[in-house]
Amino acid sequence: MKAGEVGMNYQSPIEVIHTQMQSQIEGEIYKAVMRVGVSVDKDELLKALAYDRNQYQKGYNDRDEEIVRCKDCKHFDGLNCKVNDITNIMDTNWFCADGERRTDDA
């Protein structure tokens, strides 16, 4: 190996510590759930926690995406949403995941 190269089995000390801490935290969460009398499969609980963390991270990453309100959406005809089959939209400030900004030529 040349000077400055890192071996294939090298793990950053930060990564090792993070992994150990994550494992300890997950164990403590499992114990806390069991202490309150909730019977749960540990693997399923850990999967649910990982899913929740991923959803939180996704929401955080999406925070800068533009929200298109019904009143500005190309799918809104002034009364109804053509994509979600919603009729008589009362609050045109509402929005959904399918919102696409209307352009002048739409």
Query: Mean pLDDT per segment of 10 residues, for the chain of length 106 residues?
Result: 62 86 89 92 89 80 80 90 83 85 75
pTM exceeding the 0.75 threshold for the entire prediction:
no
pLDDT at residue 73, as a whole number: 92
| CB contact set of 6 (below 8 Å; sequence gap of 6+) | none
pLDDT at residue 2, as a whole number: 58
Do 75 and 47 touch, CB atoms closer than 8 A?
A: no
pLDDT at residue 105, as a whole number: 62
Do 97 and 62 touch, CB atoms closer than 8 A?
A: no
| CB contact set of 79 (below 8 Å; sequence gap of 6+) | 87, 88, 89
Tokens of 9: 């089995």
| CB contact set of 51 (below 8 Å; sequence gap of 6+) | none
